[in-house]
Structure 1
Amino acid sequence: MDHNLQRYLNDHLAGSAGAIRLIDELATRQDDPAETAFFESLKAEVEGDQERLRHLLASAGLEESAALQATGKLTASASKLKLLWEGLKPGELGMFEALEMLTLGIQGKRLLWVMLMEIAPAYPEWDEIDFAELELEAIRQRDAMEERRILHGRESLIDSERRTATTSVAR
């Protein structure tokens, strides 16, 4: 069973590595300093989650998988190429899709914390970890990302003429 847990935690560790690369890219492409700060803060939080995952692995006597991390980085690079093709500036499809990927990834992280909270009694070495608090943090991150995803979805999926008509009807 520990093999499955090791694989599961390593999969999330690999996903976080890809997320950091994408967040970094998005931070550099923002025109609004507040948005740059948002992505830089999110990157720091995800880096903290990576360290937490490493601690969980180590404290349970499990190992980090370099192969899975390399695969995660390769997958992130391939995804980044596709997003760059679509465009990663505000209003471009790639930006919307990048935010959607991050929203899904953050939701996956939330589900990770929920599952680990469920199995934590079997791992007394994790007693000091507040998985409920980690879940709440993931929800906050997901909601903040979702706001951006919706905004950029409107900008990239509705042409300007229709967006003007939709905005005036919505008001």
Structure 2
Amino acid sequence: MSWSGNDRRRERSVYDKPLRIYLNDHLAGATAGVELSRRVARAHRSSARASEMRRLAEDIDQDRQSLIELMNSLEIAPHRYRMYGGWIAEKVARLKPNGRVYRRSGLSTLVELEVLRLGIEGKHQMWQALVPVAAELDQLETSVLQGLMDRASAQMTTVDSLHHAAAASVLTHRSG
């Protein structure tokens, strides 16, 4: 993916620090999102919708890579400690009570899909927030950002469909 049509370097501005912080925060969230989406896909590898879940995890991983490429093009170094923080946060979130002690519950899937949906929505908002930045910087192309927003919208639609099916399965059947 190319972020720039030319090789001119951007001028440093007062927006550098907020942009670095903003993108690194989103990179931490993207790292957690990749881990979560992979876990959901693994947990449902035998389900009828396994291919959708696998594809969703692949797309979320590709979006994280796009963010890293964008940061590189802007000469913004990823803060590894934030990425590790996102990775750790996803692992800690697994400890939430789900009504069962040793195995997954349908509630786990329901909540995980809700968290994924929030993350994807945040990612969409990030790409959207970068559109005005692209008008000022040669390294960003609005057409690439629009493609990423479109993909995020499609991901939200997929997660909404998966969530609807999970909610119907988990919340409408009595379990012992």
Q: CA deviation at 1:128?
A: 7.2
CA distance in 1, matches of 2:97, 2:139: 40
How do 1:7-156 residues align onto structure 2 when only pairs under 5 Å count? 7-30=21-44, 32=46, 34-82=48-96, 88=104, 92-127=106-141, 130-156=144-170
- Provide the residue aligned with 2:20 in structure 1: 6
Cα displacement (A) at 1:75: 0.8
TM-score, normalising length: structure 2: 0.80
Q: Secondary structure at the match of 2:76?
A: coil
Alignment partner, residue 8 of structure 2:
none
Aligned length: 159
CA contact (8 A) 1:83 1:97 kept: no
Q: State the match for 2:3 in structure 1.
A: none
The unaligned stretches of length 5 or more in structure 1 are 162-171
Deviations along 1:93-128, whole A, 9 cap, x unmatched?
A: 111000000011111111111111122112111137
Contact 2:32 2:90 in 1 (8 A): yes
TM-score (norm 1): 0.83
Q: Which range moves more in the overlay, 79-88 or 24-33?
A: 79-88
CA separation of 1:14/1:129 partners in 2, compared to 1, >3 Å: closer, same or farther?
farther
Return structure 1 stretches of 4+ with deviation > 6 angstroms.
none
Structure 2: 5+ residue stretches without partners: 1-14
Q: Distance in 2 between matches of 1:157 and 1:15?
A: 28
